[in-house]
Structure 1
Amino acid sequence: MAHQSARAIAFAALREWRRGDRFGDAILQALLSGSALAGSDRAFATELFYGVLRNLTLLDFWIALLRSGSIDDESRDLLRLGLYQMFCLRTPSHAAVFETVELASRRSRSFVNAMLRSALRRAEELQQAADAAPLTSRTSHPGFLIERWTRTFGADATSALCEWDNQSAPVYARVNTLRTSPAEFLAHHPESEPLPSHPLFVRLTSIPAEALGRGDCYIQDPSTSAAVELLGPQPGQTVLDACAAPGGKSGFMAALMQNRGELVACDRDPARVEKLAGNLERLGVQIARVAQHDWAAQPLAEELAPRSFDRILLDAPCTNTGVLRRRVDARWRLQPNDFKRMPEEQLTILRRLVPLLKPGGALVYSTCSIEPEENEQVVSRAMAEFPFLRQDGERSVLPFRDGYDGAFAARLLHAG
């Protein structure tokens, strides 16, 4: 029965997501917060909802093989849930069918039951058809993404990237050295796995709620460290985090600065600014001034004076193509035109930030995109517009190569 409740949460999340006006993680968080599910059942509901979104095209491919006619939205969502359990999770067939059919309305119950039982009988045929299907169907990625990645990275890397995106993401945390040390954290949380290549990060097997509440750690992928480490903020400097919410990189910079100097952390959305301030307070950051600012629309505030910052981090809004396994429904929101639109938005913000950098100072431009148009090409265009900028380092993280979320960072020096 508990799993039935988990399935009901996943089904409700799919119905809400289909309306198209909210992100999947926000929908699921709201539903789970209003439920009485235990931890294991919350995890099951999450796996069902995210698993269906990750495999949407594949599940619809199987549904089309089972029935060529039209199917109402409710029945389609239930069939997706049932097929995901049967063929992806390998849930025992009697449980997958019975519990999914129980969620159906009276008018669609017999139809959903018949379709799922037909899928069981034709399981080998359906799997063989999926294995022979194009990559876009087999891995549930939009065709335009497959095409652009194949041009950029090649067919094998694209296949590996798509497989990566469909894996459940492990949970990593950065140990907050303003509160504790990696050795002390691991002593209190021996179940955490240290990462030799990222000594301030651990892989979590369970969520340490008390440690998070105290600010001892912050949930963060190791790839996010690339931009901050490349920027290298030092104690006593004046630093700007231009697009700071929810605060993971700001917290890391404050730790590297040993809470000495000044850190201005901005974001454009008031709700995100509030979350940013709360996170920095919990992390023990004492040098931050948090401000709401829209770089594309607002005039510069007094604290954003020209040539006033030693270091600037622009973690720019982007298409998120490096983190699609975490932002599960982002692939279904992307449009081909986004790869033209986003670089212009990124450059607009860069144009506002460059004049704020002191001569001799450093600016790091970063994204969680793996697209050249948003990364290397934006950096090249910025240096063409501001001849006094000189590139002084670059880091990229590719999931299929490096085993972490995708990221890009380039360090630009003000040589004027």
Structure 2
Amino acid sequence: MRLHRNLVFTVIDSLDSVFNEKEYADKVVQKALKKDPRWGARDRKFVAETFYEIVRWKRLYNEIAGTKDHYSRENLWKIFAVWAVLRGIDLPDWKYFGETPIRRIKGKFDELQSNRAIAQSIPDWMDELCLKELGEKKWTAELKAQNIPAAAILRTNTLRGTKKQLQDLLAKDDIITKPIKGYSCALELDERKNVFVTPAFKSGLFEMQDASSQLVAEFLEVEPGMRVVDTCAGAGGKTLHIAALMENKGSIIATDIYGGKLVELKKRAKRAGAFNITTKKIESTKTIKKLYNTADRVLIDAPCSGLGVLKRNPDSKWKLQPEFIDNIKDIQRDILSRYTKIAKVGGKVVYATCSILPSENQEQVARFLGLNPNFKLVKDKKILASESGYDGFYMALLERIE
């Protein structure tokens, strides 16, 4: 592989934005890919994949480069050199690479493999927490799986067509996909491409959504004609899936504390042809209380640590703090206590997170059930990336029995 100066500079600029300016990786890479309209697919792929790879392995590369967590421009070049050397890429005769110690880099990499937290590039506190909750064997496997880049998965919008129709239409644009066994609406891309410029996307035939995430709406056991409340709807990925499962019959109320996300949901719903959705911003506790005892189904896609989606959001490893997890558990308990009251007697609730920590998942559900004997656990599902190949998730189906 030959390194091109303008592409490498874009990667360095993007790393500076994430490591020093604390911007979010997905926003940074979106901006980076618009930098030069002359770039082809291969150029864009190099920028995105190289950037994400260095973000993912930040701690390991920092240790090898000896940059001591100081991400000056000079040190970012040293870290980039580590990435290139470990991939067998010949460094060009640029001043930034003049004194790159190639043999030392390879030797240091081998030396650090005995330290799991460094070798797998994760903060010590996170390694200790997950080890405590999951155990050595399970956490070691999960950590390795979370360092494999996430696959690109589409969810077929069955309001607009079938999975086979979508697959055939995308193939006309040279976008090859394959169905995933056990996932009714999912198609996995053979290679990442910009699917958002295709006629299929503009016509609302699909959404980008990980395979594990696609299981949540189905877990809710919705039926056409029901009244459903999606309490933490965000921009509406799961809301739209629920609408499709309900065949646009019945009603969905999508709530969130962020009005901007609900605006985006409305745009997506229009494109998807989902007409049974109304949005409601949560202004205060009264917003939720007005919905008590009204719904056949309630989805609580709770805020969480996101430790099940590190493969998708590798920068979150470096942004997340222990105190955030402690705080989010309190929020989860509060949400479970209040939002479950939206369900009618006989109604069902799904509590879901994209975390792999039992303390955010089954322990929260067990605590809730201990305090609320008018609910029972129907079933739950724990998904690990090391077992599924997709995002880590948890979902529990609860029923209000009196």
TM-score (structure 1 length as normaliser): 0.88
Q: Partner of 1:362 in structure 2?
A: 348
What is the percent sequence identity of the aligned residues? 25
SS at match of 2:349: strand
Match of 1:316 in 2: 302
Q: 1:218 to 1:303 in 2, by over 3 A?
A: farther
Query: Which residue is equivalent to 2:184?
Result: 199
Distance apart, 1:34 and its partner CA: 4.1
By how many angstroms is 1:128 displaced?
A: 2.2
Q: Which residue of the partner structure matches residue 345 of structure 1?
A: 331
1:46 aligns with 2:35: no
Post-superposition Cα deviations, 1:208-254, rounded to whole Å, max 9, x if no partner, equal 33212211111111101232111111100000111112211111101
Higher mean alpha-carbon deviation, 309-318 vs 11-20, is at 11-20
Cα deviation code 1:349-368 (max 9, x no counterpart): 22221221111000100000
Provide the residue aligned with 1:129 in structure 2. Answer: 111
In structure 2, distance between residues paired with 1:220 and 1:152: 28
The alignment status of 1:90 with 2:88, answered yes or no, reads: yes
Shift of 1:152: 3.0
Q: CA deviation at 1:2?
A: 8.4
The whole-number CA distance in structure 2 between the counterparts of 1:319 and 1:302 is 24
Question: What does residue range 220-299 of structure 1 map to in structure 2 within 5 Å?
Answer: 220-293=209-282, 298-299=284-285
SS of corresponding position for 1:285: coil
CA deviation string 1:170-198 (max 9, x = no partner): 10111110001012122323421111221
Please say if residues 19 and 71 of structure 2, whose CA atoms lie closer than 8 Å, have aligned partners that are also in contact: no
CA distance in 2, matches of 1:302, 1:134: 48
Question: Does the Cα contact within 8 Å between 2:307 and 2:392 map onto a contact in 1?
Answer: yes
SS in 1 for 2:330: helix
Is 13-22 or 208-217 further displaced after alignment?
13-22
Say whether the 8 Å CA contact 2:382–2:393 is kept in structure 1: yes
Q: Give the Å deviation of 1:207.
A: 4.0
Gaps of 5+ in 1: 102-108
Separation of aligned partners in 1, 2:12 and 2:3: 14
- Residue type at the aligned position of 2:88: R
Gaps of 5+ in 2: none
Instruction: Report the secondary structure of 1:149's partner residue.
Output: helix
SS in 2 for 1:196: coil
- The answer (yes or no) to whether the contact 2:349–2:399 under 8 Å persists in 1 is yes
After superposition, the C-alpha distances for 1:284-334 in whole angstroms (9 at most, x for unaligned) are 10100022225xxx1333994321111000101110000001011111112
Deviates more, 1:22-31 or 1:259-268: 22-31
Does the alignment pair 1:382 with 2:368? yes
Name the SS for the 1:337 alignment partner: helix
Deviations 1:125-159 (A, max 9, x none): 2332133x301111101112222222333323322
Provide the C-alpha distance between the structure 1 equivalents of 2:35 and 2:280, rounded to a whole number of angstroms. Answer: 31
- C-alpha root-mean-square deviation of aligned residues, in Å? 2.1
Q: Give the corresponding residue for 1:169.
A: 150
Match of 2:285, as an amino acid? P
Q: Name the residue aligned to 1:413.
A: 399
Whether 2:286 is the aligned partner of 1:300: answer yes
CA contact (8 A) 2:77 2:97 kept: no
How many angstroms apart in 1 are the aligned matches of 2:245 and 2:116? 43
CA contact (8 A) 1:3 1:44 kept: no
Which secondary structure state, in structure 2, belongs to the residue aligned with residue 280 of structure 1? helix
| 255-264 vs 33-42, greater mean Cα deviation | 33-42
1:230–1:393 Cα contact (<8 Å) kept: no
Match for residue 31 of structure 1? Answer: 32
Quote the Cα distance in structure 2 between the aligned partners of 1:227 and 1:194: 18
Contact 1:317/1:346 (8 A) holds in 2: yes
| Count of paired positions | 392
Q: Kindly indicate whether the alpha-carbon contact (under 8 Å) linking 1:218 and 1:248 is maintained by their aligned counterparts in 2.
A: yes
The 1-side partners of 2:194 and 2:17 are apart by 27
Q: TM-score, normalised by structure 2?
A: 0.91
- Cα shift readout 1:256-303 (whole Å, capped 9, x = no counterpart): 100000001122222222211111111110100022225xxx133399
14-23 vs 355-364, greater mean Cα deviation: 14-23
